[in-house]
Amino acid sequence: MKALITVLPGDGIGPEVCEAGIRVLEGIANKYDHHFEFSEQLIGGAAIDAVQDPFPTNTQASCAESDAILLGAVGGPKWSDPNASIRPEQGLLALRLALEVFANFRPVKIFPELASASPIKTTRLEGVDIMVVRELTGGIYFGDKTRSDDRASDLCIYHRYEIERIIRIAANLASKRRGRLCSIDKANVLETSRLWRDVTINTISEEFPTIELEHMLVDAAAMHLINRPAHFDVMVTENMFGDILTDEASMLAGSMGMLPSASLGDSTRGLYEPIHGSAPDIAGQGIANPCGMIASCALLLRHSLNLTEEAENIDNAIQDVIHSGGRTTDIAEPGQVALSTREMTDQIMDRLL
């Protein structure tokens, strides 16, 4: 197979984990006789510094021509002024809109060997296997914004079609798992959530009658993610709620560095990235955990290139390294030797069967 993959290293540790992802994809290509071409482009703070545009024209063109996009991270203290007219996060939002990726998948599965790295009691982590589906291109992040000296507003809008399509995707995922779907909203307060709940009920009852549907308010969901996380199978929610809850859910796994994500739309072209940020405090030290990025590469192979065997090979290699005691600084216990980003990547590549 031939595929063009745009790589957007971005800021902070983004270039370091992208390098790890590219190495693993090249290893897969060599083993299975594929040809992956990589086009590295600017985004975020790095793009602002270079061309004063967080999502430059060249980057847009490369993404449009690619089979998949691999993203490191954007942002950092250098560009953290929320009042700045140009910010790294604008590049990320523009990228999602340009690709028309409206569904963000964030799997949260616990490695038993890493349960002690989580701040949550290990007894509450048994059996945790969650898929969070976040609506990605609607809601308050994309609504009209106003600001004066003493007043500000952010408009939250959802259309019926936006809700229907994300619910269908989440329900299809649930049907292939344990058949349970939990829809997260704030229907006791927000009109957008009341529409969300009504559309969800109608869509599930008419199209997915065998799915077990549960509704949960977002504040209750935040509590139950910590108190009884194994209760959840597939969770689906709107943009801002999903942004917050998925970061919370990452702590179940012990580190944000372990978790991947995939953002998809109606086509096979997807956006793949670890869920962590740019981590400027460790950037350039070579100690970032590459597992989230490498697992994102597995999602890329599975969803955009339909290379299921290759994706499973990567997932199994990560699992084997963790089982064998491979640890980066963020998941190492006292007394354990912490591997560098490159050493962890080396160990994963050594296990690509």
Cα separation, 326 vs 339, in Å, equals: 7
Mean pLDDT, residues 166-180 taken together: 96
Q: What is the pLDDT of residue 21?
A: 98
Burial class of residue 57 in the structure, from the number of CB atoms within 10 Å of its CB (0-12 exposed, 13-18 middle, 19+ buried): exposed
Confidence tier at 167 by pLDDT (50, 70, 90): very high
What residue ranges define each of the domains in the chain, with the CATH number in brackets? 1-104+260-353 (3.40.718.10), 119-253 (3.40.718.10)
Q: What is the pLDDT of residue 247?
A: 87
| Position with higher pLDDT, 253 vs 168 | 168
Which one-letter amino acid corresponds to residue 250?
S
- The tens digit of pLDDT for each residue in 298-309 reads 999 999 999 999
Does residue 186 carry a catalytic annotation?
A: yes
Which listed residue (109, 129, 154, 243) is catalytic? Answer: 243
Q: What is the pLDDT of residue 30?
A: 96
Answer whether residue 158 shows pLDDT above 90: yes
Confidence tier at 347 by pLDDT (50, 70, 90): very high
Which listed residue (109, 129, 154, 247) is catalytic? Answer: 247
Answer whether residue 254 shows pLDDT above 90: no
Cα separation, 21 vs 262, in Å, equals: 14
Q: What is the DSSP string of 276-320?
A: S---TTTTTSS----HHHHHHHHHHHHHTS--HHHHHHHHHHHHH
- H-type alpha helices, the chain: 14-32, 44-51, 57-65, 88-99, 160-175, 191-207, 218-227, 239-250, 291-303, 308-323, 341-350
Q: What is the pLDDT of residue 255?
A: 86
Answer whether residue 251 shows pLDDT above 90: no
**167, 215 Cβ separation under 8 angstroms:** no
**69, 99 Cβ separation under 8 angstroms:** yes
Which listed residue (186, 272, 315, 330) is catalytic? Answer: 186
- The tens digit of pLDDT for each residue in 96-122 reads 999 999 999 999 988 888 888 888 888
**46, 40 Cβ separation under 8 angstroms:** no
Mean pLDDT, residues 215-219 taken together: 98
Which listed residue (31, 49, 161, 219) is catalytic? Answer: 219
Which listed residue (109, 129, 141, 154) is catalytic? Answer: 141
Cα separation, 167 vs 331, in Å, equals: 34
**255, 293 Cβ separation under 8 angstroms:** no
Does residue 350 carry a catalytic annotation?
A: no
Does residue 219 carry a catalytic annotation?
A: yes
Does residue 161 carry a catalytic annotation?
A: no
Instruction: State pTM to two decimals.
Output: 0.90
Structure tokens at 337: 């030797």
Confidence tier at 73 by pLDDT (50, 70, 90): very high
Does residue 141 carry a catalytic annotation?
A: yes
